[in-house]
Structure 1
Amino acid sequence: MIRVGIYGATGYTGMELVRILQRHPGAEIAFVASQSQAGKTLRQVFPAAPALPLIAGAEAPLDEVDVAFLCLPHAAAAETAVVALAAGVRVIDLSADFRLRDAAAYAHWYAHTHPAPELLAEAIYGLTEVCRADLPGARLVANPGCYPTSVLLALRPLLLSNVPLAGPIITDSKSGVSGAGRTPSQTSHFVEVADNFSPYKIGRVHRHLPEMEQAIGWWRASAPPLVFSPHLLPVPRGILSTIYVTLGADATEANLRALYGDAYAGEPFVEVLPAGELASLAHVTYTNRCAIGLTLVGRTLILTSAIDNLIKGAAGQAVQNMNVMFGCAETAGL
């Protein structure tokens, strides 16, 4: 039985982890921690949750767990990871602290000096379908961001192919409001979001952009530049990315569809949709799935990619990584 600790359990992602791990046949929750709600039970914060006692992070009994999930703000997550790793506990970090390999890039995008730059080279970028072979021996896994998960799974087969690409890759992504986290703000207030649909952080502003560019560079050194335009959908959860890629030579949709079918054959959580079917939130909400649709118009390949931001984009993918790390069935609990 894998003994699990969860830091930041009172956020949306932390609560999703609790839901998944409660039904996991090979895991048990040893502690749930929350700085803001310590002394309460999780049920007092989420009425449908189990009545697990919430403790302060500093009081977490690390000697009682095999793995710690960090659902914490950036910087705080890295500081906690150092403590957990020193105690011999494996770490799956759901913050951004270990996603970027370059400490200077992290400092630029997050306006904070990295608390543990010596760990950046060790951290496995946990896009499970890509890093599966590296997970069994990993001490530290950086769970990808939600937008990057939807975009990178859709682009990777194309980037690794010999299909020539031309012009920018344009990614038009939309997220449900839970992607903004549980702390309220004016932009996530019901009155601001309901009956509205708005772009935000257009241009080279969103912090997920360097994460996507980093992975794209791993897979194709001469890839076209990425243009990323995120939007806020007036729905609780889900991400839909519509990606436009101009091909550098003629291709057929049948050949591209075969490329994607081969790339994701046997993947339990990635579905390449049949011709004529486009990915939607309805394909994936409340699941750990990624649905990918392909449409070719002339030399423009239009990819539609949908995930649940709280599950495949966060807690579900984290458990998927844990399963591979500890030799469980990859689909366990999911």
Structure 2
Amino acid sequence: MTQNIAILGASGYTGAELARIIATHPSMRITALSGDRKAGMSMGEVFPHLRHMNLPDLVKIEEIDFSTIDLAFCALPHATSQAVIKELPRDLKVVDLSADFRLRDPAEYEKWYGKPHAAVELQKEAVYGLTEFYRDEIRTARLCAGTGCNAAAGQYALRPLIEAGVIDLDEIIIDLKAGVSGAGRSLKENLLHAELSGGTMPYSAGGKHRHLGEFDQEFSKIAGRDVRVQFTPHLMPFNRGILATVYVRGEPQAIYDAMSRRYADEVFLEVLPFGTLPSTRSIAGSNYVHVGVVGDRLPGRALVMVALDNLCKGSSGQAIQNANLMLGLEETAGLMLAPVFP
């Protein structure tokens, strides 16, 4: 049975990535696309790489007949998303790609995003969308909140280790490199080619990055106590991809064994042989995650490295993986494409 899909906010990078992946999905058909500022345009005009697809033109959200839609992906900006979703039909399944429903505590949302949440009841209903750790809850969810792409990378590195109790919870450092597409498609001076190409820079340093809210929430929940990590992201002059290097205190072999056990049956999580380093080149354009564990020269310390594609497994691919579960489809449907190389 084919499922009718709407993509709200289809004129952004994650909207285009959703369309690209769904193009070969065996059970999904895109029947509505919204893009407020680009309403009336074809998807091929907005994204020439999608010209070959037979897609509906972009319209305003209020023009969509949701009675014909089985599931909507909401790829809208933060704050806009919650305002739109609370007006959608209550029986419509929704996968949100913004930050609006990731944090369960309204006070934490206000702390990290600077304004009160406008749909608190929906915030309570939403299921956190890190598929491999919330699979059962996602299957029965009406509203699924996609994770932050940086937050996904850090959690893939650390959740199995916190669960297994093999690292010191008070000594965790996440150093992360992110491709520029993670900043979105809006025009920003610091993202101009002349400003970004040939260099790199940290941003939101010193505990200011909003994805720390997700780390605090999820790691503390697993540990049963407060866990606060140090986290610094860096903006890199490549289009897509995330590489997280996580510094931990613990025995390297025990860390590797815990990681291997936890991800042994996960299709999209590949734990590399001990000492092998992952690369963003090896996962580009795919829903796969590569995890590496390396012992440090200092006894009792290790490095855990995670590479994933921020637009795919970090956002749109993850969203489709969750939608598959919500619609009763094969979890991997449409997502088995090999990475693009070179």
Q: TM-score interval w.r.t. the shorter chain? A: over 0.9
C-alpha distance in 1 between matches for 2:254 and 2:170: 21
**Match of residue 207 from structure 1:** 210
Distance 2:150 2:128 in 1: 14
Q: Once the 2 structures are TM-superposed, how far is the Cα of residue 22 of structure 1 from its aligned partner?
A: 1.3
Aligned partner of 2:69 in structure 1 is 65
In the TM superposition, residue 324 of structure 1 has moved relative to its aligned partner by 1.1
Q: Is contact 2:171-2:249 (8 Å) kept? A: yes
Could you tell me whether the CA contact under 8 Å between 2:125 and 2:143 is conserved in 1? yes
Secondary structure of the residue that 1:242 maps to in structure 2?
A: strand
What does 1:215-254 align with in structure 2 at a 5 Å threshold?
Answer: 215-222=218-225, 224-247=227-250, 251=251, 253-254=252-253
Alignment of 1:64-213 (within 5 A): 64-86=68-90, 88-165=91-168, 167-213=170-216
The equivalent residue for 2:270 is 271
The answer to whether 1:330 aligns with 2:334 is no
Decide whether aligned partners of structure 1 residues 21 and 117 sit closer, same or farther in structure 2, where only a CA change above 3 A counts: same
SS at match of 2:161: helix
TM-score (norm 1): 0.96
Distance 2:107 2:164 in 1: 31
Once residues 157 and 311 of structure 1 are traced to their aligned partners in structure 2, the CA distance between those partners, rounded to angstroms, is 22
Separation of aligned partners in 2, 1:164 and 1:232: 28
1:80 counterpart SS class = helix
Aligned-pair identity (%) = 40
Query: Matched residue of 1:63: which SS?
Result: helix
Give, in angstroms, the shift of residue 223 of structure 1. Answer: 5.7
Measure how far apart 1:68 and its partner are: 0.6
Q: Find the residue that maps to 1:121 and give its secondary structure.
A: helix
CA–CA separation in structure 2 for the residues paired with 1:207 and 1:126 = 17
What do the CA deviations read for 1:78-125 (whole angstroms, capped 9, x no partner)? 122112243x21110000000001112111211222110112221100
Q: Which moved more, 1:310-319 or 1:259-268?
A: 259-268
Give me the whole-angstrom Cα distance separating, in 2, the residues matched to 1:59 and 1:75: 21
Counterpart residue number, 1:315: 316
CA distance 1:224–1:83, shift in 2 (3 Å): closer
Distance 1:202 1:7, change over 3 A: same
Whether 2:26 is the aligned partner of 1:22: answer: no
Q: Unpaired segments of 5 or more residues in structure 1?
A: none
Higher mean alpha-carbon deviation, 140-149 vs 51-60, is at 51-60
Runs of 4+ in structure 1 deviating by more than 3 angstroms, as ranges, are none
Deviations 1:152-196 (A, max 9, x none): 011011000132515431000010000000001011111111001
Number of positions where the alignment pairs a residue of Structure 1 with one of Structure 2? 329
Whether 1:52 and 2:56 are equivalent positions in the alignment is yes
C-alpha separation between the residues in 1 aligned to 2:63 and 2:95? 19
Which piece of structure 1 moves more, 164-173 or 311-320?
Answer: 164-173
Give the whole-Å Cα distance in 2 for the aligned partners of 1:221 and 1:228.
21
- Give the aligned residue type for 1:23: T
Find the residue that maps to 2:88 and give its secondary structure: helix
> Does the CA-based 8 Å contact 2:102-2:128 persist in structure 1?
yes
| Residues 1:40 and 2:41 aligned together | yes
